[in-house]
Structures are given as structure tokens and as C-alpha cells.
């Protein structure tokens, strides 16, 4: 016979077990609620200015669109008779790069397409390059967004079922421009240059003006021949790099040259989307755990987290920043994070 005291002990243990299971399930549900947003059967309501209002909690009390308004793309007229020159060098400003930038802006464009401008409410998705997109079958859902923003040299050809085929904007820098603009993009895709250093402006100028190519000053040789229409090229306003670094990652604007940290193109694209769009979803973000040495980081190539060493990116800090945006509802996630 089991004594009453033992029965009470067993009952208490059972109760504790039930509470622990319930807590675990509730935490898991909460985790999924925050970091995973399955595709709804009905189109989610889009409220004008909603993403920006929520994001203002992170970027300060003043929304992006409040005066002085910051344009998304740099334009030539802003560099004539400048009364207040940029306070920072690239990637957070244009100080010291004005001369070459003027030449680049003279042969490129700055406009946002009317098809986007005219939308009453802009639904946008930022498609990351993460391995979570592999076998996701999100392609059709991604194609339904008004604006699809892609990163660097991430391919669409051969991966349409998982990542879609529509590309409204593609953010890139010279070392990541090894993609075929005609194969991996739509005919009207905007190719948005993210300049990390002055040589990036020199490179795009030589490409578009067919001048003697720049071969030094890059961590990886960028294309020497790149068939692209200058009217497709846009120059991203360094303001977005500045606020991503300052407000999301708390990075100092003035850093020693040899140990500079900077946001990834992915975090920068989310920051841009929160300025441009009314509804912002993300897909394919997140890196494997640091101890996972074999898990690939991209959906299209077999490289691991080891390749990020020395990149100047703090992926752990960026993960925290993205979680904050998910928690306040500024963005929602189409894939697990």
C-alpha cells in the first residue's frame, strides 16, 4: 500500500509536470506568434502609414516622413549649392565623395516608379537569402506583394517555387553584383546601389560610362563588364544605413577604419521597407546557431556561417533587432526565425 504522504507527493509532482507542459506549450505558441506568420487565406488589411507608425518606436518619436523629409534615392539636385554637407563618410554619409557622386547621379535616375507611388497602401515583402526559404513553397505568395525587395546576388531562376520570380528592387554593392541583370530580375527592376565606400561610386561610374575599370579597393573583384541600363540604377540614401546602425544596432558613426562594423544589406532593406511601405513582411531571414558548423546560410549555395567571419556584421545583434521589430508588429515573418 502507498501511504497518503506518498500519494500527496505524487499528486504534487503530477501537478508540477502539468504546469511545466502547459507553460512550455504556451511559450512555444507565443514564440510562433512573434516570429512566424503563416500565409493567411484572406489578404491582410493594409493600413496606410501603419508600418512607419510602429517603427517610430524603434527609430525615435519622429516618423521618417516628417520634415526634413529623407528621399529614398539620392538625386542630383540635392548636391548643388549644398548648405549643410553630410556629416559622415560612407557608408553613413557622402562626405568626401561628392565629386564622383555628382558624376554618377548625372547618368542615373532617382524616381520611384509611378506604379508604386500611386498605390494607396503598399504591401511589401523583403526576401532574405536564408536557408529557411529552401522547400518553403512561398513563391506564389511572394509574387502577390506590391513590392518585392531582394538582396545582392540571390537568384530567382530555378528557385521560383520557393522565392517567387517578381523583383521590384534589388539592393546590391559592387562585390555582390555578380548576377545577370536580365536573367535574375524583371525588365523594370530597380537596381539599388548600397555604397559602403568611395570606390563603390567609382566602380558604378566606370561601368555606366565605360571608363577604365577599377580593379583595386574591393575585398572581392566586382564585375568588369555588367550589362545594365543606367535608368534602372538608383543610389540608396546613406540615411537608411545611418539609422539602421544607430537606432537598431547602437553602432557609433565614427569607427576605426580597420574594425568598422556595419548593418547587413538585409537589415538595411528592412529599414528601407519600413520607410517606403505600409505593410512589411519578411521571408528567409535568420542564421543558423553559432555552434552549427555545417548548416548552410543561403538557400542557393553551400556556404556556412564561417564565411561571415571578418565581414564586419554582428548577426547576433541583428537578430535581436529583428525580434524587436517582430514583437512590436512593425514587420511580420513568413518563415520561422
pLDDT digits (tens, 9 = 90+) for 134-171: 999 999 999 999 999 999 999 999 999 999 999 999 99
**Does any domain span residue 299?**
yes
pLDDT, the chain, mean: 85
76: cell is 542630383
**Residue 185 belongs to a domain:** yes
What is the rounded end-to-end Cα distance, in angstroms, of the chain?
Answer: 52
Q: What angle do CA 300, 320, 317 make, to 5 degrees?
A: 80
DSSP strand E in 168-326: where?
169-172, 190-193, 233-235, 279-283
Residue 192 lies in a domain: yes
State the Cα–Cα distance between residues 166 and 145, nearest whole angstrom: 9
Task: Report if residue 135 sits inside a domain.
Answer: yes
Distances (CA, A) of 296 to 99, 132, 318: 41, 10, 18
Q: What is the DSSP-derived secondary structure letter of residue 232?
A: G
Q: What domain count does the chain have?
A: 1
Band the pLDDT of 249: cuts 50, 70, 90: very high
CATH number of the domain encompassing residue 274: 3.90.1480.20
Residue at grid coordinates 531562376? 157
Q: Which of 225, 263, 228, 222 is nearest to 246 (CA)?
A: 263
Reduce the DSSP state of residue 143 to 3 states and report it.
helix
Whole-number percent of the chain with pLDDT over 90: 62
Read off the pLDDT of residues 51-71 as tens digits, 9 standing for 90 and up. 888 888 888 755 656 656 789
Q: Where are the alpha helices (DSSP H) in the chain?
A: 4-35, 50-59, 98-105, 114-117, 139-143, 160-163, 198-209, 239-243, 265-276, 315-327
Model confidence at 44: pLDDT above 90: no
Q: Is residue 94 part of a domain?
A: no
Is 13 inside any structural domain? no
In the block, which residue shows the cell 533587432?
Answer: 321
Q: What is the mean pLDDT of residues 304-322?
A: 79
> Looking at residue 303, what is its pLDDT?
82
Q: Is the dihedral of CA 193, 227, 231, 216 positive or negative?
A: positive
Asked whether residue 276 is assigned to any structural domain, the reply reads yes
Q: Within a domain: residue 112?
A: no
Residue written as cell 564586419?
312
| Boundaries of domain holding 139 | 36-69+121-200+240-333
Would you say residue 327 has pLDDT above 60?
Answer: yes
Amino acid at each position: 500500500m502507498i501511504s497518503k504522504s506518498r500519494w500527496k507527493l505524487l499528486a504534487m509532482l503530477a501537478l508540477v509536470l502539468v504546469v511545466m507542459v502547459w507553460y512550455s506549450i504556451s511559450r512555444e505558441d507565443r514564440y510562433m506568434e512573434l516570429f512566424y506568420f503563416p500565409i493567411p487565406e484572406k489578404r491582410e488589411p493594409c493600413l496606410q502609414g501603419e508600418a512607419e507608425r510602429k517603427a517610430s518606436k524603434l527609430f525615435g518619436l519622429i516618423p521618417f516622413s516628417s520634415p526634413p523629409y529623407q528621399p529614398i534615392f539620392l538625386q542630383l539636385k540635392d548636391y548643388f549649392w549644398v548648405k549643410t554637407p553630410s556629416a559622415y563618410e560612407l557608408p553613413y554619409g557622402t562626405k568626401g565623395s561628392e565629386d564622383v557622386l555628382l558624376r554618377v547621379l548625372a547618368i542615373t535616375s532617382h524616381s520611384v516608379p509611378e506604379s508604386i507611388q500611386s498605390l494607396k497602401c503598399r504591401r511589401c515583402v523583403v526576401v532574405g537569402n536564408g536557408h529557411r526559404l529552401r522547400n518553403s513553397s512561398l513563391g506564389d505568395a511572394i509574387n502577390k506583394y506590391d513590392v518585392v525587395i531582394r538582396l545582392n546576388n540571390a537568384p530567382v531562376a530555378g528557385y521560383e517555387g520557393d522565392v517567387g520570380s517578381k523583383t521590384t528592387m534589388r539592393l546590391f554593392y559592387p562585390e555582390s553584383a555578380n548576377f545577370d541583370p536580365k536573367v535574375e530580375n524583371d525588365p523594370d527592376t530597380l537596381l539599388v546601389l548600397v555604397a559602403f565606400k568611395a570606390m563603390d561610386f567609382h566602380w558604378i561610374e566606370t561601368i555606366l560610362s565605360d571608363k577604365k575599370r577599377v580593379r583595386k579597393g574591393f575585398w572581392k573583384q566586382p564585375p568588369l563588364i555588367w550589362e545594365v541600363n543606367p535608368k534602372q540604377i538608383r543610389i540608396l540614401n546613406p540615411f537608411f544605413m545611418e539609422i539602421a546602425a544607430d537606432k537598431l544596432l547602437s553602432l557609433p558613426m565614427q569607427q576605426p577604419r580597420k574594425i568598422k562594423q556595419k548593418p547587413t544589406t538585409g537589415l538595411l532593406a528592412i529599414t528601407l521597407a519600413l520607410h517606403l511601405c505600409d505593410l512589411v513582411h519578411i521571408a528567409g531571414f535568420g542564421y543558423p546557431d553559432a555552434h552549427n558548423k555545417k548548416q548552410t546560410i543561403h538557400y542557393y549555395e553551400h556556404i556556412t556561417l564561417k564565411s561571415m567571419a571578418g565581414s564586419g556584421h554582428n548577426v547576433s545583434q541583428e537578430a535581436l533587432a529583428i525580434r524587436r521589430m517582430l514583437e512590436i508588429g512593425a514587420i511580420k515573418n513568413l518563415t520561422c526565425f
